[in-house]
Amino acid sequence: MDRNDDRYDLLVVGSANADLVVEVERRPGPGETVSGSDLAVHPGGKGGNQAVAAARLGARTALLARVGDDAHGRLLLDAQRAAGVSVEAVRTGGAPTGVALITVDPSGDNSIVVSPGANALLTPADVRAAARLVRAAAVVSAQLEIPVATVVETVRVRDGAGRFVLNPSPAGPVPTEVLAACDPLVVNEHEARVLLGHGAGDSPGERALALLALGPRSVVITLGAAGAVTADGRTGVVARIAAVPVTAVDTTGAGDAFTAALAWRLGRGDELPTAAGYAARVGAAAVTRKGAQESYPTAAELPPG
Ligand code: ADP
């Protein structure tokens, strides 16, 4: 990648974590110790996942994130580079690389402890230092595994240039200023409930319209094996996007792959329902393989729409 050629299709502003996974017969109670499998270390974090997903599809992608000056940080950067992501804007140091400590029991249920580490130190100043990239990218995508103030600064530096896409995950409050910039706001059903509170519409379409009323320019609700619904504030069109039928093996990171694909295609000029249809093919492919980043398809591996 030519370092002076900074007009990326997609700039992801977000987290990078090492996922440390141990399989256990059962999870320990308080004060208890159990033995598990050998440790498996996977590159993860919603920001890292989105960047890898887009790059594998062919998008010119960069990641703005912070990792520690440690072995996990180097592993995460290697995974990004291997997928073709530019790491020119990744900052290093200040705290250990973020990790997710994951135990998985035989039924597939997870218990997860997240240590945000360096992700918590991705600051508004880091966004300002990367202002050139933030303004030039066709699409900027963010999530909430980094400080909200950093997401706010991303919107301010972006200042209406191109598109901004937000997946507010982990679910939490989103400042009005950020909501107003979202085009679209991408949520799963849990995140939709958190933003709307109770009693906000019986159907996904009603919930999408209720989310639109919170201020974003457009909304996508992902519905797992049931596909997705889109709502466009400009046209008022609500569209149901069918899921692509596949045999799901592991749904980890499906939403991140969906969002990255959606963001990239919108930046290329697709209409919202068309981009969501493409993203559903990417999400479907991702659930047919184990893991998050390891499961993401290239364009050639996508199932037919
Ligand atoms: P999250 O991972 O954020 O909870 P979802 O589970 O809603 O997100 O999945 C995101 C997208 O991935 C869905 O909208 C759908 O297009 C696709 N997807 C997820 N699970 C399946 C599945 N079992 N079969 C087909 N597509 C799926």
| In a domain? residue 2 | no
120 C-alpha vs ligand 1 centroid, how far in Å?
A: 28
Active site amino acids: 256
Angle between helices 46-57 and 71-83 (to 10 degrees): 20
Residue with CA closest to ligand 1 atom 19: 224
255 C-alpha vs ligand 1 centroid, how far in Å?
A: 6
CA distances 234 to 185, 188, 212, 217, 267, Å, are: 14, 22, 10, 7, 17
Residue with CA closest to ligand 1 atom 21: 225
pTM, whole model, 2 decimals? 0.96
pLDDT for 202: 86
Residue with CA closest to ligand 1 atom 1: 255
**CATH number of the structural domain spanning residue 209:** 3.40.1190.20
| In a domain? residue 217 | yes
pLDDT for 201: 80
Q: What are phi and psi of 283, to 5 degrees?
A: -60, -40
303 C-alpha vs ligand 1 centroid, how far in Å?
A: 14
**Domain range enclosing 165:** 10-28+37-301
- CA nearest to 115, candidates 141, 96, 131: 96
pLDDT for 5: 62
> Which of the listed residues 246, 287, 288, 302 should we mutate to test ligand 1's pocket, taking the one with most ligand atoms within 8 A of CB?
287
Extract the residue ranges of the chain whose pLDDT is less than 50. Answer: 1-4
Angle between helices 189-196 and 204-212 (to 10 degrees): 50
| In a domain? residue 3 | no
273 C-alpha vs ligand 1 centroid, how far in Å?
A: 16
Q: Are 221 and 204 in contact (CB under 8 A)?
A: yes
Q: Which residues line ligand 1 (CB under 6 A)?
A: 188, 222-225, 227-228, 243-244, 246, 248, 251, 254-255, 258, 280, 283-284, 287
| In a domain? residue 116 | yes
pLDDT for 305: 80
Entry field: residues in the chain: 305
Residue with CA closest to ligand 1 atom 26: 284
CA distances 53 to 48, 114, 254, 267, Å, are: 9, 22, 10, 15
| In a domain? residue 55 | yes
Domain count, the chain: 1
Looking at the CA of residue 281, tell me the nearest atom of ligand 1: 16
| In a domain? residue 160 | yes
Please tell me the distance from the alpha carbon of residue 141 to that of residue 164, in angstroms, as a whole number.
6
Q: Are 183 and 165 in contact (CB under 8 A)?
A: yes
Please tell me the distance from the alpha carbon of residue 274 to that of residue 292, in angstroms, as a whole number.
24
246 C-alpha vs ligand 1 centroid, how far in Å?
A: 11
| In a domain? residue 60 | yes
| In a domain? residue 5 | no
The helix/strand/coil state of 38 is coil
- CA nearest to 12, candidates 300, 278, 259, 303: 259
> Which of the listed residues 251, 262, 281 should we mutate to test ligand 1's pocket, taking the one with most ligand atoms within 8 A of CB?
251
Alpha helices in the chain (DSSP H): 46-57, 71-83, 124-129, 131-136, 148-158, 176-181, 189-196, 204-212, 254-267, 272-287
Q: Which amino acid, residue 212?
A: L
Please tell me the distance from the alpha carbon of residue 160 to that of residue 158, in angstroms, as a whole number.
6
pLDDT for 2: 43
